[in-house]
Each structure stands twice: as C-alpha cells, then as structure tokens.
Structure 1
C-alpha cells in the first residue's frame, strides 16, 4: 500500500511542473518576442497542417474564417482582406493614436503579422478573453493581447 501512494502523486507533480511561468514584466505585456512572420509554405499534402505552417488548401479555408471586419472598443477596428500575392492584409486601428496596414499570414494559431517590428498573432477567442468589458459576451473574436481584441459586429 505504501508503494502506491508515491505513484499516485507522480502525475500530479508532473502536471504542476507543466504550468507556464508567470510573466515577470511589470506591465503585464509579454516580454517574449517572436521571429519574423513567415508566409505559409507551398508544399504538397492535400491541405494538412504541419507544425505552425498551414498547407494551401487549409489556408484558403482559414483565410475565409478571418476575412472581413472586426470591431474593437472606442473606434478600434480590424479589417482583414486577401492579398493577390497570397496571405492577408490587416488594416487596423489598435488604439486611439495608432493606425496602420500590415501584411499577414494565416497559421494554425491565427493571423500573424509584424507591427512596429514586433511579431504579433491575432488568435481566435471570445469577448470575455479580450479583457474588455464592452466585448464581454461576444462569441467570435480575435485577440492580439490582453486589452486588444476585435469581435464580429
């Protein structure tokens, strides 16, 4: 009986070790920066996902999910359009003072784009996950970071 007790605790100990470390930055903004944004690879495979890259057939279906207008708070917005050369274009106002247009790509995680030299990813979620009370309760949203999110109108 005494041999089973340590065996029962082993999975709990491993699960505790697998939790992400808390963010040490004082602002709550993640300090980790991601490398340059890469466009999806054009490889054979019938639209299967491989790692972070999304195959062409799957890319078209994912792009359709993201295309169109997304609305934030206080006049913020995100318009996603398809580029002729592949990928997407993000036209956005992300705070009261900043607006811009960025080339992006569709990945398994969401929309990746480079904004002011920082690689960002807009991931699918809901209004509650944005941390913005005016988007709470919305079901179809994109979240760039806490406090920056856009939902379908």
Structure 2
C-alpha cells in the first residue's frame, strides 16, 4: 500500500473542507444609531434568529452560519452579517467603535 498517496489524498480532502467559525460572541443585542439595533439568537445547528429594529419597528429573519459570517434573506436578497469596526460601517456615529457587526456600509451596530 502506498502511504504517500493516501496521505496526500487526506491532505487534499482536508484542504477542501470549510470550517464554520463559532459566532457565540455575536449573540445578544448590538446598538446602532438613532434607536436601531440588531439582536442575534442562536437557534442551534448553525441557525440564528435575527431581529433588526429600526424606526419602522422590528423585522425578524432566520439566518445560518457560513465561513464569512451569518447569512439571511431580506426582501429576496441574501445579506451577510460580518464583523468590522465603526470605521468599516461608514457611519459617523460609530467611527470611534472597535467591536461592530455590519450588514452593508451604512448599516452597522456596535458594542462598547
């Protein structure tokens, strides 16, 4: 048996797998400007409830973990929640914050 070939095959398969990071430290409420907020709750098995509060009320979504962040669908479009800084959000109210989640530039939420 050629162990070198088996070893190379195992290495190749291992490099193809995607590791989904834990987003446990994202759970709970994140605050945005003007009374907005993002609340993430772990539902288990890499599934999450997402609540986005804005001036119009609360909107509920179901998301799932990926290697880049938490993906959910809003108004027929896939959106990605990812970690960033206040500067990354592009929002002047959050510029000095270091620990933020953002959906897109102009839509961010931070913790102190």
- The TM-score bracket by the shorter chain reads 0.7 to 0.9
Moved over 2 A (4+): 95-99
> How far did 1:99 drift?
2.6
Contact 1:123 1:144 in 2 (8 A): yes
Of 81, 85, 96, 1:137 maps to 96
**Number of residue pairs the alignment of both structures matches:** 99
Note the 1:4-153 alignment, pairs <5 A: 50=18, 54=20, 58=21, 62-84=22-44, 86-93=46-53, 95-97=54-56, 99-153=58-112
Gaps of 5+ in 2: 1-15
> How far did 1:121 drift?
0.2
Corresponding residue SS for 1:137: coil
Larger Rg: 1
Gaps of 5+ in 1: 1-47
Higher strand share: 2
Whole-Å separation in 2 of the counterparts to 1:96 and 1:108: 31
Distance 1:140 1:85, change over 3 A: same
Whole-Å separation in 1 of the counterparts to 2:69 and 2:46: 16
Tell me the alpha carbon deviations over residues 122-151 of structure 1, each in whole angstroms, 9 at most, x when there is no partner. 111000111111111111101111110011
Whole-Å separation in 2 of the counterparts to 1:138 and 1:144: 16
- C-alpha RMSD over aligned residues: 2.3
> How far did 1:91 drift?
1.0
Q: Which moved more, 1:73-82 or 1:84-93?
A: 84-93
